[in-house]
A and B are shown apart, each in its own frame.
Chain A
Amino acid sequence: MSKKTDIIVVGSGLAGLTAALSARASGRQVLLITHGVGSLAVSSGCIDVLGYHNGCPVQDPIADLPQLNPEHPYSLAGAERVEKAIDWLQSLCLAGGLNMQKNLSRRNHELITVMGTLKPSYLCPESFCTECFAKARRAAVVSFENMKDVHPLLIIDQLHRYARFADMEFMEAMLPCPIDQSHRNVTPLDVARFVDTPEGLEWLRLSLEPYAKLYPILLMPPVLGVKNSQKVWGTLCDVLKVRIVEMVSIPPGVAGLRLREVLRNALNEAGITMIENALAVRAVADDKKCLSVVTSGAGGEHSWEASQFIIATGGILGGGVATSPGKAWETIFNIPIKAPENPQEWSSTEIFGRSFFSQMGVRVNADLKAIDDSGAVLYENVRFAGRTIGGYDYASEKSGHGTALVTGMLAGELAGKE
């Protein structure tokens, strides 16, 4: 079986979703094929652009971009594209009912995490912004019984270790758990799903009320719903007359899922078809031109033809890059990634150190097409976006969603122009 479309995007992480939307803006037909959900299901949903450069904190990421090495995806895309992509996503989200904000002084936000650490990020849902702490110096730190990943006392101890919070008054607010009391872990996602229901929202309002009377800020895990968090946040802040600040949390990624929901709705509205549970296993190419990708799923193999392809299959975790002892390669086109033969040399002895491992991915040019060692393009009609591209360490830089967004949008735009 064979179907032909203009542009095929593989992968539905942030890079794939934004690539599909920006490609569609050209008026072309777009088909999105994906195996799973991608990192949005586990990540914070805040758009980190650049938090650290060579280990030093970055205040204004946009201003610092030109200093990145020339192989960095931002350098390839061009620094000016970064702000453009951010603004585009911001307006997309706003149209979808999610208010994403930059820091008032256009510098990195300092978001609060469930470990009580601060994390630089550039664009985040309004409910995560921490600027309110500049005025109010008192806050209740909220968690729920049996929510094992969120301990208010840890957060308080840890925040007090930062100059910015050293003299703040915090109070622990442990709420009873609204979900069954077995030995099971209760995650912010469990509570958020409950808060999506009218009774859940009412329960949360009542539980927070006593603390809202005492403290101007309530700091809490991301439990303000998955479907309509903006409204939940607005309503609760209004009726309780407090400022609620959500914390960046570990998987499952409530805020990532919120962002995904908004983008998926946008995809529907734009008339983009999305085929799920389809694993692209190989590509059929004629010399330097890709003719189709072949997927395998419940119904056997399918071949999908298109004129342009965008591969946004993520990194090692996402499935876009595979490894065996001493070898690494891109998984659909089998593009080899030059790796040290000795696995011992792949990683840094320090877990958070930069290494081949932390930056491995496909080498691309400014057109986001894969190139070989000599710089020659491998496939004329195939572009790569997101974590599949190598040359940066998103974890230590804090640039994961930023690079996915910028390269996703650019890949879509370029493919739409061909």
Chain B
Amino acid sequence: MDHATVVIIGGGATGIGILRDLSMRGIQAVLLEQGCIAAGASSRYHGLLHSGARYAVKDNDAARECIEENMVLRRIGSQCVEVSEGFFVLTDQDDPAFERPWVEACAKAGIKTEQIDVKEALRLEPNLSRSVKAVYRVPDSSVDGFRLIWHNALSARRYGGEMLTHHQVFAIEQEGGRVKGVHVLNTVTGQKSYISCNLLVNAAGSWSGNVAKMVGLDVAVQPDRGTLVAFNHRFTSRILNRLHKSSDGDIFVPHGSITILGTTSFHADRPDAHDVPTEDILKLLDIGEALIPDIRTYRILRAFAGTRPLYAGKSGGQGREVSRGFHIADHQEDGLEGMVSIFGGKFTTYRLMAEKLSDLVCKKLGVHAACRTAEEPLIEEPSAELLEKAKKYFPVHGVTLAANRLGAAFPIVVEKAAALSSNPLLCECEMVSRAEIEYVASDPSTTSMNDIRIRTRMGMGTCQGTFCSLRTIGALSECRIPFPTPPTESLHHFLQERWKGLRPAIWGIQAKEMELGRSVYAATLNIDGALNEQKN
């Protein structure tokens, strides 16, 4: 690869959305991502497909965008969206005066709300606090960020779009007031290369300010850190929001068998400020108690943080004061040709953001092609025949999970499973079978166990990798899929990643799991000793 019509920087929701959109419009594009897919905010987030109700009062336009996109994503990405619903709950700590204007603002934005009897709400959500005052239904849903991005990438690929993970843009070449191309570092091999392009798209989320700096521009993108806590239980069937002015710790989002509580908002000085201070977790637990009084009895699976790419515009502002809307900059206005940037926004509106940016790209390139991303589903539904066939090789519940995860690749994995003498589940928590792991591991963009985890959810369940990681490494040796690092090192790296998410919440049941993990891998398998004793 030495030339592309369009180079996109950033493999989060926004960048991948743009890659798919441009590819569908017939524009040759390549996306460069420094980490694995969704290394930034697009996986370090809450996974709430906003109805918009949260923003209705403060930013009615953003709220309208949310509800419209929410409905689009349910249609085009049904495998990635868990259609539940949301409750907005007025607790005894919330100001009742907020209720009316909120209901009106939702109506204005086109968000359907319905008040339900508190008794009925408690019947539907028995873990909800008994002292709640009012409850409304809204069309919130949850969305799997990794999966949505992966499906976008697969769709883009079908249209010729290319995605290179572990490729970091470290410099931008310009000549006579025009961007010519980008200098890229392969972060796995250490190799450097140059890709020329007609147009450069900066979709680097919280990093977009850094990218702009590479061409000497100063833009007001403010990384804002938010912490999230994942629990090992689904203690609510619906998304729970506090009915008040947006604040910390006021949303619970259930995903599959877990629940995520968040979040906080702190000014961050770096886009990769991903460390989680324990205070954040304790604060979230304190606040979360208002909705779920038993919150402390549930096991914390891990805590993580992401940075929001808040765009302060020319006016400035911080944290929750800043609009969640997005902004597109054509740097022609700054005297630089051949580069556009997209700032701010939300996961929920990634498709709309991509559409608007792609419109601009088309205009600049003189291409006349309409956006089709709102109509065409990301993947085709698997046929009934294929699902029937798959039942022979996957456990019953695992079929749908695998089909949803794999999207377009599902038929290939079913073939693979059929060819194996048996297709055991390597990750029992998330029901990931050997065929699926083999397929994902052999994808060129997979370079580590973490990449496998992100696509399959292997290691994201109850055991947090304690049991499935050894199995995965074993299966990879068995099918002779080479990794850049040998087994002991790969496993260590993987366990280390999981450890990071547990460290800030080291108490109670999580602490037991941590002692178990160290015991299995150090006391029994001596991974720590082997790291120094084995040769390559």
Contact = CB atoms under 8 A, between A and B. Distances in A.
Contacts of A153: 477-478, 480
Interface string A354-388: 00011000000000000000000000000000000
Contact of B533 (A118, A349, A351, A357): A118
Contacts of B500: 349
Interface stretch (B160-168, B325-333, B371-379, B514-522): B514-522
Contact of B534 (A117, A342, A349, A398): A117
A351 B517 contact: yes
B315 interface: no
A44 B471 contact: no
B529 A119 contact: yes
Interface of B: 277-278, 282, 394-395, 398, 421-426, 428, 433, 467, 470-471, 473-475, 477-478, 480, 486-488, 491-492, 495-496, 499-500, 503-508, 511-512, 514-530, 533-536
Interface in A12-64: 39, 42-44, 48, 51-52, 57
A183 interface: yes
Nearest to A157: B477
A145 B422 contact: yes
B278 A343 contact: yes
A84 interface: no
Contact of A154 (B278, B477, B519): B477
A115 B488 contact: yes
A317 B516 contact: yes
A347 B486 CA distance: 26
Given A148-B426, A161-B486, A357-B506, A48 B478 contact: no
Closest 8 CB pairs of A and B: A151-B474, A154-B477, A352-B528, A395-B522, A161-B534, A119-B526, A117-B530, A351-B499
B514 A158 contact: no
A61 B495 CA distance: 29
The A interface is mostly helix, strand or loop, or mixed, namely loop
Given A317-B516, A357-B514, A148 B525 contact: no
Contacts of A409: none
A113 B496 contact: no
Interface in A226-244: none
B488 A351 contact: no
Interface string A304-344: 00000000000111000001111100000000000000111
Interface string A131-158: 0000000000000011011110110011
Interface of A: 39, 42-44, 48, 51-52, 57, 113-120, 145-146, 148-151, 153-154, 157-158, 161-163, 166, 181, 183, 185, 248-251, 315-317, 323-327, 342-344, 346-347, 349-352, 357-358, 394-396, 398, 400
Given A316-B512, A351-B496, A149 B471 contact: yes
A183 B396 CA distance: 10
A161 to B, nearest CB: 4
Contact of B526 (A113, A148, A343): A113
A149 B526 contact: no
Contacts of A57: 529, 533
A220 to B, nearest CB: 15
A44 B423 CA distance: 28
Contact of B506 (A343, A351, A400): A343
Contact of B524 (A150, A151, A250, A396): A250
B456 to A, nearest CB: 15
B487 A158 contact: yes
Most B CB atoms within 10 A — which of A150, A325, A349? A325
B533 A162 contact: yes
6 contacts: A43-B523, A115-B527, A183-B425, A324-B507, A394-B523, A395-B523
A317 B519 contact: yes
A118 B473 CA distance: 17
A118 B488 CA distance: 12
A396 B522 contact: yes
A148 B474 contact: yes
A400 B523 contact: yes
Contacts of B524: 43-44, 113, 119, 248-250
A117 B517 CA distance: 17
B507 A344 contact: no
Contacts of A347: 499, 503, 506, 514
B499 to A, nearest CB: 4
